[in-house]
Structure 1
Amino acid sequence: MKYSKATNYALHTMLYLMAATPNRPIGVQQLAERQDVSSTYLSKILTKLVKAGMVESASGANGGYRLKRDWEQISFLDIIHAIEGTASIFDCSFDHGPQCPIQRVVLEAEQQMEQHLSNQTLAALAQTFKIDL
């Protein structure tokens, strides 16, 4: 299974926002330069994080993005769902209905992976990941 590059950038952006100063807005240009990605592309990713209620934008001369909700509660899975959505990674193309044995195996594995990702927060990483933006 592979997540999109947008998820990679979202996870790193959230880590940068947490590690820098959770309450200080950081400009999209700074965040984009840090990851060597276009600010336009990163803005689209940040829009998804804003819609998910994890980040808020602040306008003005000292504007940018900052964490909106309690950053210690944000899990890897929260961020992944904000970018990728919550649809299952596997969809049986045959008309077995919910009793498809292959679908059950894949869904069980997916549930275990999601449980692991929901137990992992970026807060622990952010405490050891000090950066200057």
Structure 2
Amino acid sequence: MKFSKGFLQTAALMVMLAELPEHTYLKSGELSHAMGVSHTYLQKTAKKLKDAGLIKAEASKNGGYALNHAIDEITFYDLFQAVESPEAFASGYDLTGIRNMFISPALTEHYVQITGNIFKDAENALKNSLKSHKLSEIVPLDQQGEILQINWPAQLAQSQEERPNE
């Protein structure tokens, strides 16, 4: 099992939103440019995060996206649930190899059950680990221990001025 690229990009997106000064929003185009992902892809991810209640969207000239909760209230499991498939990790696996290695149906079902339980235990361990870690763990802090504030809209506008031919 590995985390999807989308899940990892979601964590980066959330950090960028956490760094925004209060009452500042980041537009989807700005986010997609800064992250180097397609605008359409970013909008789909943002919709999932909005639907999950993790971010808010403001439709106005100065609007865009912002966090909807404090960074110490958002777990990695919240992000995972928002953007990954709701299907259990330990479902849909093919146990043909296990089924074919036993002649006895009783033995087959016994070991298939054990294998399924191992997979379910692994899934629960991963979920519990994701639940125990907060977004606040990866948001940079300044020298005073406060969230490092970055005015991303201004920063991105400045970088565009420095590279006008892109």
Aligned to 1:19: 19
Contact 1:22 1:66 in 2 (8 A): no
TM-score normalised to structure 2 length:
0.71
In 2, Cα distance between equivalents of 1:22 and 1:117: 27
Aligned to 1:64: 64
* AA in 2 matched with 1:53: G
Check 1:67–1:23 CA distance in 2 against 1; reply closer, same or farther (3 A cut). Answer: farther
TM superposition shift of 1:23: 4.1
Aligned to 1:111: 124
Aligned to 1:29: 29
Unaligned runs of at least 5 residues, structure 1: none
Aligned to 2:90: 90
Q: What secondary structure is seen at the aligned counterpart in 2 of 1:3?
A: coil
Aligned to 2:137: 124
Check 1:58–1:35 CA distance in 2 against 1; reply closer, same or farther (3 A cut). Answer: same
Check 1:114–1:42 CA distance in 2 against 1; reply closer, same or farther (3 A cut). Answer: same
In 2, Cα distance between equivalents of 1:90 and 1:122: 26
**Number of residue equivalences:** 132
TM-score normalised to structure 1 length:
0.86
Matched, 1:73 2:65: no
* AA in 2 matched with 1:38: S
Unaligned runs of at least 5 residues, structure 2: 100-108, 142-146, 153-166
* AA in 2 matched with 1:20: L
Contact 2:21 2:151 in 1 (8 A): no
* AA in 2 matched with 1:118: K
TM superposition shift of 1:19: 2.0
TM superposition shift of 1:21: 3.1
Q: What secondary structure is seen at the aligned counterpart in 1 of 2:57?
A: strand
Check 1:12–1:69 CA distance in 2 against 1; reply closer, same or farther (3 A cut). Answer: same
What's the RMSD between the two structures over aligned residues? 2.2
Aligned to 2:144: none
TM superposition shift of 1:22: 5.6
Q: Which moved more, 1:27-36 or 1:82-91?
A: 82-91
